[in-house]
Amino acid sequence: MKKIKCVIWDLDHTVWNGVLLEDGDNVQLREGIVEIIQELDRRGILQSISSRNEEEMAMAKLKEFGLDEYFLYPQINWNAKSSSIKKIVESINIGMDTIAFVDDQPFEREEVGAALPDVLLIDALDTDQLLGMPEMNPTFITDDSKNRRLMYMSDIKRKEIEESFEGPQEEFLASLGMELTISPVTTDDLQRAEELTVRTHQLNTTGYTYSYEELDQLRHSPDHKLMIVDLKDKYGTYGKIGLILLECKEEAWYIKLLLMSCRVMSRGIGSILINYIMQLAKENNVTLRAEFVKTDRNRMMLITYKFAGFKEMETNGNHILFENDLSLVQPYPDYVQVTVKDTIEVSN
């Protein structure tokens, strides 16, 4: 069962009672809707809007109700709702199968269901049951979960600045003042580490998932290195956005898992982390290999591996085993400050 990452709301007779263009100031919020929206936000579930309405009027009404800040990339227009949902999903950059759509009209739900069959459709009459649905209940609610909307709002600000920036990409990246920290996973990180393995699909080399208990065992294992990655810049924190799992055998080290949040896709973080692993292997005088499992969404990580000099050793269906001769180890780029904290030593 997929966990929902974003709930997209209709407005008329869904968030509020009445039709805004007809009832104007007389529309009132549906009973309990504020508590539902706030609780979803606390759980780290993003929210947006797909509504046939007049945008300026609808946003003004949401602001009047104190709810406008909860919705990312709202699509308030006269287009098909499936089209609006596609735009929201592209903007947030998550999978369509992690979306729920709430609407009071069967016709609208059917239109979305026909065009986007992976979307979970919910009748507005059933919103009182929404918080109890298994899809809406993450295993853990981490600090990153609670701040997820705020981090996305910071990303929106960064994108706006990037689009108006005149100059080379590296110059823009340098202007951000990015600080990347790589450190061993601690007890406090375990919930977020599990969440990353479950939620991250696009920038993920294998898609392997690990439970809290498995990750706790791995971080204590003398044969493994488990590291978490944190990123921040002058606009705020991205949170804990990456995870590295190395299996350290006598004949070679294996990258079992390398993943990053899609929010850092354009920041070059994948190449930085791969170079960190390559440097570590070189310092320890070991052969470096990497497992890779092809999916329909992680091609970017395959390309990143190949650019870093990884060569295919074995291929079995969607499973690839790579090896790197460590001849292409690069220094970290000047646009980011990289800090490595207390790396656990592994004896060979």
**205: number of Cβ within 10 Å:** 28
Q: Residue 44's pLDDT is what?
A: 94
**182 - beta bridge partners?**
229, 340
Q: How do residues 206-254 score in pLDDT, each as one tens digit?
A: 989 899 999 999 999 999 999 999 999 999 899 999 999 999 998 899 9
Q: Is residue 197 part of a domain?
A: yes
pLDDT digits (tens, 9 = 90+) for 56-108: 999 999 999 999 999 999 999 999 999 999 999 999 988 899 999 999 999 99
Q: Tell me what the mean pLDDT of segment 113-130 comes to.
A: 96
Q: Which pLDDT score is estimated for 343?
A: 55
pLDDT band at 345 (very low <50, low <70, confident <90, very high): very low
Q: What is the pLDDT of residues 8-55, one digit of tens each?
A: 999 999 999 999 999 988 999 999 999 999 999 999 999 999 999 999
Q: Both 101 and 172 in a single domain?
A: no
Distance of alpha carbon 118 from its chain centroid, rounded? 18
Average pLDDT of the segment spanning 122-142: 93
Whether residues 179 and 318 fall in one domain? yes
Distance (Å) of CA 137 to CA 133, 145, 296, 334: 7, 12, 26, 41
272 domain residue, yes or no? yes
d(CA 231, CA 236): 9
**Residue 146 in domain:** no
Say if residues 146 and 195 touch (Cβ distance below 8 Å).
no
Q: Tell me which residue range forms the domain holding 100.
A: 6-136
Q: Evaluate whether 335 touches 178 at the Cβ level (below 8 Å).
A: yes
Same structural domain, 205 and 303 = yes
